[in-house]
Amino acid sequence: MSEQAIKYLKENKGKYSSSDLARALRGAGYAPEDVNASIREVFPGEADTPPLVPKVADQSFWNFWDKKVYMNAWQKWLDFLFGVFAPGFLFLVFGVVFGNFNPYFNFEDMWGFFILAEIALLVYLWNRRRFVRWGIFAQIFLFPVVGILFFTLFFHF
């Protein structure tokens, strides 16, 4: 039983379920025995259940299937920045590829598809990757503002 694990569990007891907290501790490198003992200490009602050894989801950056349990602020920033820049990058790549190889495709026609794709991403990532979701929101609202500022500053003089 680890004192740090117990402190972590007590701080986050009201925010997350015991299985999510146990998964986070396992992902942080705690031994299953320590996690189970700490869970029984903080959640006494679950002491009668079998030892809690949850399936640890793949916590790699590219796993968008499972819910992400953030271990530090760096992971949150990576997800946020991915949400800000990835949709715009994909829009440019698809625009260049389809614009060059299809003479009937117009780059301006892609805006509707792009907006629908971002809405679909927001719905899919709503409970899986919170900070990618916030990055997409930031990208939707901040890029027009940055574009207006850019054109105002460079074409005003």
- Using an 8 Å Cβ cutoff, are 136 and 87 in contact? yes
Map out the domains of the chain as residue ranges.
Answer: 3-46, 73-156
* Torsion sign (Cα): 44, 46, 47, 51: negative
**DSSP single-letter state for residue 63:** -
Judge contact between 56 and 27, C-beta under 8 A.
yes
**Count of helix runs (H) and strand runs (E) in the chain:** 6, 0
Would you put residue 135 in left (φ > 0), alpha (ψ -120 to 50) or beta?
Answer: alpha
Calculate the CA 12 to chain-centre distance. 19
Provide the pLDDT for residue 157. Answer: 60
| Model pLDDT, residue 77 | 92
Quote the pLDDT of residue 50: 47
Q: What are phi and psi for residue 50, nearest 5 degrees?
A: -60, 160
* Percentage of the chain lying above the pLDDT 70 cut: 78
Q: What is the pLDDT of residue 113?
A: 74
Q: pLDDT tens-digit profile of 110-149? A: 677 777 888 888 888 888 888 988 888 888 788 788 878 8
78-93 tens-digit pLDDT: 999 998 888 878 777 7
Inform me whether the pLDDT recorded for 75 exceeds 80. yes
Is 100 a residue whose pLDDT tops 70?
no
